Amino acid sequence: MQPSTTAVIARELTQAIAGQRLQPGTKLAEQKLADHFGVSRTLVRQALHQLAQNRLVTLEPARGAFVAAPTVDEARQVFAVRRMLEAEMTRTFAREATPARIKALREHVAREKAALDDSDTAESIELLGDFHVRMAELLDNEVLAQILRDLISRSSLITLMYQRAGAARHSQQEHVEIVRALAGRDAERAVQLMEEHLRHVEASLAFDRPRPSSDITQALAAA
């Protein structure tokens, strides 16, 4: 079944947020989005309400829609939830690891490294987040994959606002170590590495950074 127009708009906006092309606080003007997608403002409004339910967008009376700008408390809560979910996911993946699944993860981390080596910031950030979603997809658990997609999108907003320089390459190296443990079916080691990885990402956040700004037309044109 083909996705609805509303779903397509929501997906493209989510990808722009996850890829850090749409930055926290960006105003999402309905008419500009309608012109970009060639649809009515009604369909755009439906997509924005969908994203608001996922906490990626905030809707403000008389002001419109904006890309969410997570608070420090929300940032800490997001990573707390991710640690809980991803620890069990990692344990399950190690128990059910197959050569094909390990090969798929290795190919993914190779793409991460290539993007980092090419200094492709948007691509590398998107791939680093997708590593976690990819694990859920390879377990054939679409419910978990969807939950992680939403959490990763929120994490992307958080890292855009607060992450220090150099953290992305460190994350990629940690992904390599996690895959190595999974390949060895060492569940406890893999879980430990995943938990440490997420704690390192959270520790890399500088909560006193000024908030960036962005332009919606440029962000969507880069998709």
Dist. CA 86–CA 80, nearest whole Å: 10
Strand partners of residue 66: 27, 58
| Distance, CA of 122 to CA of 20 (rounded, Å) | 6
Summarize pLDDT for 130-183 with one digit per residue, the tens.
Answer: 999 999 999 999 999 999 988 988 887 888 777 776 777 899 999 999 999 999
In this structure, the answer to whether residues 108 and 157 fall within a common structural domain is yes
Buried b (16+ CB within 10 A) or exposed e, 93-106: bbeebeeebbeebb
Determine the structural domain holding residue 26 and report its residue range: 5-69+210-221
Count of structural domains, the chain? 2
Same domain, yes or no: 195 and 216: no
- Predicted confidence at residue 90, as pLDDT, reads 98
- Higher confidence at residue 209 or residue 93? 93
Domain at 138, CATH number: 1.20.120.530
Q: Look at residue 217 and tell me whether its pLDDT is greater than 70.
A: no
The pTM for the full model equals 0.74
CA dist., res. 42 & res. 178, Å (int): 44
Query: Residues 24, 120: one domain?
Result: no
Provide the angle, in degrees to the nearest 10, between the axes of the packed helices 99-117 and 121-138.
170
For residue 4, the one-letter residue type is S
Q: Using one digit for the tens of pLDDT, what is the confidence trace for 61-90?
A: 989 999 988 888 989 999 999 999 999 999
